[in-house]
Amino acid sequence: AQSVTQLDSHVSVSEGTPVLLRCNYSSSYSPSLFWYVQHPNKGLQLLLKYTSAATLVKGINGFEAEFKKSETSFHLTKPSAHMSDAAEYFCVSRGWGGFKTIFGAGTRLFVKA
Amino acid sequence: DAGVIQSPRHEVTEMGQEVTLRCKPISGHDYLFWYRQTMMRGLELLIYFNNNVPIDDSGMPEDRFSAKMPNASFSTLKIQPSEPRDSAVYFCASTLGAATNEKLFFGSGTQLSVL
């Protein structure tokens, strides 16, 4: 069965420190994986997507994610947090063949000054 | 293109009333998704369509919910009768099924409040 687990519901970091948002996926096949961000009262924006061309994917605003098949993980990282990064982040999985697109429960990122 | 268009932006109704949410996907997109977002459950996939045909409706919570896509440019999500626990933000999204890693384009959502 296809599922996505975001391991932390909340993450709090100080401005300028690294960010790590964790995501594990479960699928019978290697799924397509995405990270989306949702700022308060705004829509959902694509941060990055895994295309199978490279295991390390670079996205917008300095974010990147590494696909690790052996660990079934697709963690999102950023070397240095900015106040504007405070938002909710969703790890998303799309299965093969059917296009069923599942969102993780979300991780709310807080950035302290 | 104007993007995915949802209407209304806000809907306030009383328990027991029928609610209809509308969505116009991006022209040319062949997949359409309906999601519900709540604090408790996050973003739940309710149903999705491919070429106007419902593919998976396993996320529809109960028979009070129904969705249709009569043509490639219009979809509705109907709740009848509505209940307070249906209060949520409902998002519609569309994508082009050229590849599995095509991104979703989201509408602005409909904020539904059932009193």
Residue A41 confidence (pLDDT): 77
**pLDDT band for position A94 (cuts 50, 70, 90):** confident
**pLDDT band for position B2 (cuts 50, 70, 90):** confident
Least Cα separation, residue A102 to chain B (angstroms): 7
Q: Please name which of B77, B8, B60, B108 lies closest in space to residue A41, comparing C-alpha atoms.
A: B108
Are the C-beta atoms of residues A102 and A3 closer than 8 Å to each other? yes
Q: Which of B5, B60, B102, B103 to mutate to test the interface with A (most CBs of A within 10 A)?
A: B103
Q: Please name which of A83, A93, A92 lies closest in space to residue A61, comparing C-alpha atoms.
A: A83
Least Cα separation, residue B101 to chain A (angstroms): 6
Asked whether residue B21 carries a pLDDT value surpassing 90, the answer given is: yes
Place of tokens 């994986």: A33
Q: Which of A36, A93, A101 to mutate to test the interface with B (most CBs of B within 10 A)?
A: A101
B56-93 pLDDT per residue, tens = 999 998 899 999 999 999 999 999 999 999 999 999 99
Residue A14 confidence (pLDDT): 97
Which one-letter DSSP state was computed for residue B102?
P
Residue A98 confidence (pLDDT): 65
Nearest chain B residue to A94, by CA: B100
A41-92 pLDDT per residue, tens = 778 999 999 877 788 999 999 999 999 988 999 999 999 999 999 999 999 9
Q: Point out the residue among A31, A94, A105 whose CB comes nearest to the CB of B42.
A: A105
**pLDDT band for position B1 (cuts 50, 70, 90):** low
SS3 label, residue B84: helix
Q: What is the distance between the alpha carbons of residues A4 and B70, in angstroms, rounded to a whole number? A: 31
Are the C-beta atoms of residues B77 and B34 closer than 8 Å to each other? yes
